[in-house]
Amino acid sequence: MPRGCLGGWFELLKRPKQPEDSIPLRVGVGFSVGIAILAALHQMEWPFFGWAVMGLTLLGSLFSWYRRTHSNWLLKVVLSILMLLVLFNFLVSLAATPYDPRFPLAELLLWLLTLHSFDLPARKDLKYSMLVGIILISFGAVLSSSLGYGAYLAAFLAAGLVVMHLFWRSEAREGARTIPVSPGEAVRPGFPIGVAGMLLRSAGVIMLTGLVAFALMPRYESMKLRNLPVSWSMRLTLPRIARGEIVNPSYPGQMSRGLPHLTFSPDNYAGFAPIVDLNLRGVLSDELIMQVRTSRWSYYRGLAFLDYDGRYWSLSEEEPVKVTSLTPPITLPLRRTDFANDERLVQIFYVQRELPNVIFAPFEPYQVFFPSEDLYVDQALGLRAPFPLEEGMIYSVIGLTRPLPAEELKKLPPLEDFPQLARSASTHLTERVPQRVRDLAFRLTAPYKSPYEKALALTLHLQNRYSYQSPPPAYPADAEVSDYFLFESRTGHCEQFATALVVMARSLGMPARYVTGYLPGNFNPFTGFYEVRGSQAHAWAEIYLPGFGWMAFDPTPTGNGEPTPGLQSRPHQHWMLGALLDYLKGLVPETRRFAATRTLAQVRSRWGGWIAVLKNAGLPTAVAVAFLLLIPLQIPFWIALVALWRARRTGRWNPLTRSLERATRSLTSLLGEPALSPRENLRNIYHQMERLLQRAGWERPAQKTTREFVAYVQEQRDWPEMEPILEGFEKARYGEIDPSPEDQDRAHEALRRLRHRLRSQVSVPSRIPSTEEEAQSDDAD
């Protein structure tokens, strides 16, 4: 019995499938699959096996065509063995990268698609290939971080529409061979009339509908499903050149106080160094340096500085602590125990070019998925890698945040209840700070009791009373920076604002420190990433609130408008259109942005009531204003659209369409093309009808007259549109009086209706019998 079962299975394996003979279908499937393979390989940064996959897939497709009528049973056995080897390779790769299985899975699909291309005899096999192509194009979309991937999507959509139609045509031909049809009728071998236009319209409608739906659909906070990738393989190629010290590629060597000729570099921020010179001036490059996917809007924290001498900030002299883990994640020790109600903040960083060895992270990092077995943590929770961040590196960080409303922060105990804070290193002030800086801090905070309100009062004073300039004017070399900024210059960059806030907070006995990092960047609604540029390097302050902990305060007016960025969550826009407008606004230079802001303020002052109504309906302000501005353009657009729809559906507004046609003919005459005479116009309309019928399979034999041809077609198909065209042609060809404009309009309308009818025509006669053949048929009867 087993032997009989084995023989039956062997006979089934040797039995050939019904072959698919359509060359256009096979070419279309191969082209579509090739686009999907290219898209996936591009997102995988073109691995070493990329060319092999492309070449073998093409070779396999050609082999399948030539062997489509054979059983190929031996080939099936070999392919089965190779697929098992591919599966084994997938399991090995998955074990090596357990934290991001997408790349091993994509490699598995690529090799399976390549092997499957050698055995594609039937239409069903081609459909399997298209299915894998859809999976690969989706895989690339998940990994894409730029709008350039839209070219792959558009190409795959266009090729996919053509392939879908070719599949339908192939199935229709197969049905025509098995289902009886009327005598003389068959399925056309080519495309039906208007297929190219139909496919173009379908692609346009799909893309337009997708974009409109994409713009109007709600956009919720990302990272609901938290997949934390890390470029784990990079740990094997990057040399460990640092053991806790800062390595900044743009400032080689250790920066120290008193360097007289330190040259500014636009490539990397000088704030990512052991020493920060507040008198260093320059403009950073606007180059894209990172793309970040995050579960919540937040700053990207780098380093925190404690020591200040009037011009320089420097890191603590304590050695950072080395933390080690053989596999991700690296879990960091928590500095506090009251974290039961904390929320997780997830950030995934995609490094676009070489950066210092500072690991950017949320304020309280808890777990780090980084391509290294060890990293270093300083006492201010700053993270440092053993090597600089290289282009293409991916790492993820999970941080903890404490959700506490502002009203609760105002109830925190006053500083007088914690006298020990005045003795901490983070409250130390250099003797160079003048008394007037301390007096200003006391005067601004006198009405408030809680530390949070005092810190917020200082922050808002700096935001509202001082101007931002990049780069700011040079300060005297012997000037204390905070004093000169507050009372002399009153203009500065983020470094001067943050320094002034830290100094005034310490004057009140509040622990404070100077922090450098990056702003959140511009959220790209198409990719879901925040795009961070070099010019978005930033400095802010962290102030310790007793009973709560450290909190970020940003006094810079043009930072992000939030005095407490750690408190305001600022989620992504809940409407895609609003997120898109915010993204475009972030790409506009500041000078033009200020002009647009003034214009928006004028619009808001005039249409404030309508804007309020739309905002209450849930629309963001920018979307409400854009909607109101587009109303004058929407009214004539919708009127014209309704008019054209009625003209097409009912034909009542034929005078309008005739006027448009006459205007078009007049315009072509003015442009140098002589207008056709009424006779030529009607003859041209008839020839257009013949061409349409010929493309649909109704070709007029030379022996038949025009009326015999039209009569035969109308016997097979009840198409009344042909009669006005024929009458106009006969009047133009044989009549003594020139045709009237009404004759031309009637023929034009009939041609339009016939063209619309033929677009949906599927099964037509392949050839019309000649007059002699009809006579022979009558004699036989």
Structure tokens at 245: 């010290």
The residues, ordered by sequence, that sit 6+ positions from 760 with a Cβ below 8 Å of its Cβ are none
Unique residue bearing structure tokens 């200082």: 458
Write down the pLDDT at residue 671. 39
Write down the pLDDT at residue 264. 82
How many other β-carbons are positioned within 10 Å of the β-carbon of residue 40? 27
Asked whether 533 and 512 are in contact (CB, 8 A), the reply is no
Residue 565: which of 573, 574, 576, 556 has the closest Cα? 556
- C-alpha torsion 553→559→560→564, nearest 10: 0
DSSP 233: G
Widest distance between CA atoms in the chain: 123
Write down the pLDDT at residue 457. 92
Write down the pLDDT at residue 211. 66
Alpha helices, DSSP H, located in 395-531? 406-409, 435-445, 451-465, 481-484, 494-507
Q: How many CA atoms lie within 13 A of 99 on its CB side?
A: 18
Relative to beta strand 467-468, strand 491-492 is parallel
Residue 579: which of 142, 149, 212, 215 has the closest Cα? 215
Write down the pLDDT at residue 59. 93
d(CA 542, CA 552): 4
Asked whether 115 and 76 are in contact (CB, 8 A), the reply is no
Polymer length of the chain = 781
d(CA 624, CA 165): 42
d(CA 601, CA 766): 68
Q: Which helix (H) or strand (E) holds 20?
A: none
Return the SS3 of 237: coil
d(CA 444, CA 467): 18
Digit-coded pLDDT (tens) for 329-377: 888 887 666 666 778 888 999 999 999 999 999 888 989 999 888 999 9
Write down the pLDDT at residue 549. 82
How many other β-carbons are positioned within 10 Å of the β-carbon of residue 610? 14
Residue 494: which of 575, 555, 577 has the closest Cα? 555
| Every domain of the chain and the residues it spans | 11-179, 588-643, 678-780
Residue 600: which of 581, 576, 577 has the closest Cα? 581
Q: DSSP E strands: which ranges in 272-384?
A: 275-277, 288-294, 300-305, 307-308, 312-314, 321-324, 330-331, 343-351, 358-359, 364-369, 374-377, 383-384
Which residues in the chain come in under a pLDDT of 50?
1, 176-193, 225, 258, 260, 571-574, 590-595, 651-653, 664, 667-674, 762-764, 766, 780-781
Write down the pLDDT at residue 183. 38
Asked whether 552 and 455 are in contact (CB, 8 A), the reply is no
DSSP 312: E
